[in-house]
Structure 1
Amino acid sequence: MPLASNFMSFLYQSHFFTTVNHLRDLPETVQPEVAFAGRSNAGKSTVINMLCNQKRLAFTSRIPGRTQHINYFTVGPVSTPIAHLVDLPGYGYAKVPSTIKTYWEKLLSAYLIERSQIRGLILVMDSRRPFMELDNHMIKWFSMTMRPIHILLTKCDKLSRNESLNALRAAQKSITIYQITGLQSKITIQLFSAPKRTGVDQAQALLERWLGI
């Protein structure tokens, strides 16, 4: 069986593992992790579900900003996981109280900088509104770790083909600016659509490389 198929079989066996609301409660696991971050309603939970070929692995709330915890998912059998996918709280929703926003920001930045098991960050952005202020903050936070960042421009099915390509080109220019300013992390980017499965194979292949499966 090809290596990619072996990895896919593990990825499709993903299960919910645990929920964390404080850094002290992070699981004492040794398996590699890939973190998923993004603004509220950017489609982060949908991305995780698509990559794992499941409908409700990650909870997709109709109310942006509802997810307030770090959610862990095992990759592979529950008893012998080979890796973890980590769904971080969505950020940037205006109706969330400022005290909660501040707490989330501290939790996110501390987790991303201090967690040694992280192999990379999947940063989810709505293709119609990429690189907003908090997205840029997230990139700067995580770049201090010198680990790679891969940006998914989601919901590209809501754009025409030309609009999608233009959005990708504009985003690639934004990446170039980051690299010129000396950020240490390698940043890559792609289009992604759950309804049309655009970019799903590409993102799965990237997870395989990062996790070294």
Structure 2
Amino acid sequence: MIVIRKAEYVASAVKHDQYPVGGLPEIAMAGRSNVGKSSLINKFLGRRNLARTGNTPGKTQTLNFYSVNDAWFLVDLPGYGYAKVAKTVNAQWGPMMETYLKKRESLRAVLQIVDIRHAPSIEDIEMQQWLRTMEVPTLVVATKVDKVSRGQWPKHLNVIAKALDVPDVSLILPFSAESGVGVKELHEAFEEILGLV
């Protein structure tokens, strides 16, 4: 399992020339605003406040790069689908995300994060289709599983799998930043993606 010895925020970027240089492998995280990305980052990296969690969804409006063990980057992509963010900002996100996902050669995979309690939104479905079209390897992570009784997980995960066209429900990783469910499995998935196994 990956041992997180060092994790630090390195840069926020809007344009291609602001990305960190050096070619280290990257894993990006995409999801709706308020789906729990920052909480997942903090729990996964074992840091309390590395990624800022806010009560206001839509706060992340840049690509945020976190260096892990000086060996790879975790990249937090702007949350999508939050209506209260100005339309002009929303309009900028598409090109910003597209540039990163298309041009970043060091990108190894994208974690698409969804809330287990809700059926995937149109934006979630579009994001999944878009990642497929661009042939970006994707892992779907269902957060906030502590808010649903374990007996109800299969029902909710099946809804997500069907909506996102995931061929097998076992390919969706249940996760909780509160209880720690899924942390070990996520570490193992990252090991595989980064070729550290």
Q: Same fold (TM over 0.5)?
A: yes
Once the 2 structures are TM-superposed, how far is the Cα of residue 192 of structure 1 from its aligned partner? 0.8
User: Aligned residue for 1:195?
Assistant: 178
Structure 1 pair 192/16, CA: closer, same or farther in 2 (3 Å)?
same
Select which of 64, 67, 70 maps to 2:60: 67
With 115-124 and 20-29 compared, the bigger mean Cα shift is at 20-29
| 2:58 corresponds to 1:51 | no
User: Aligned residue for 1:33?
Assistant: 26
User: Aligned residue for 1:107?
Assistant: 96
Q: How many residues align?
A: 194
Select which of 14, 19, 24 maps to 2:12: 19
> Where do residues 151-162 of structure 1 align in structure 2 (5 Å cutoff)?
151-162=140-151
Partner deviation per Cα, 1:125-176 (whole Å, 9 max, x = no partner): 111124211111111222233232111111111112222221112223334x
With 163-172 and 119-128 compared, the bigger mean Cα shift is at 163-172
2:54 aligned partner, one-letter code: S
- How far apart, in 2, do the equivalents of 1:50 and 1:201 lie? 11
TM-score (normalizing by structure 2): 0.92
Structure 1 pair 63/134, CA: closer, same or farther in 2 (3 Å)?
same
User: Aligned residue for 2:160?
Assistant: 171
Structure 1 pair 118/130, CA: closer, same or farther in 2 (3 Å)?
farther
Unaligned runs of 5+ in 2: none
Question: Retained in 2: the 8 A contact 1:16–1:72?
Answer: yes
Q: State the superposition RMSD in angstroms.
A: 1.7
1:23 aligned partner, one-letter code: H
Select which of 150, 167, 172 maps to 2:139: 150
The DSSP-based 3-state class of the residue aligned with 1:18 is strand
TM-score (normalizing by structure 1): 0.85
Among all aligned residue pairs of Structure 1 and Structure 2, give the percentage whose two residues are the same amino acid. 33
Question: Retained in 2: the 8 A contact 1:113–1:144?
Answer: no
Question: Retained in 2: the 8 A contact 1:34–1:84?
Answer: yes
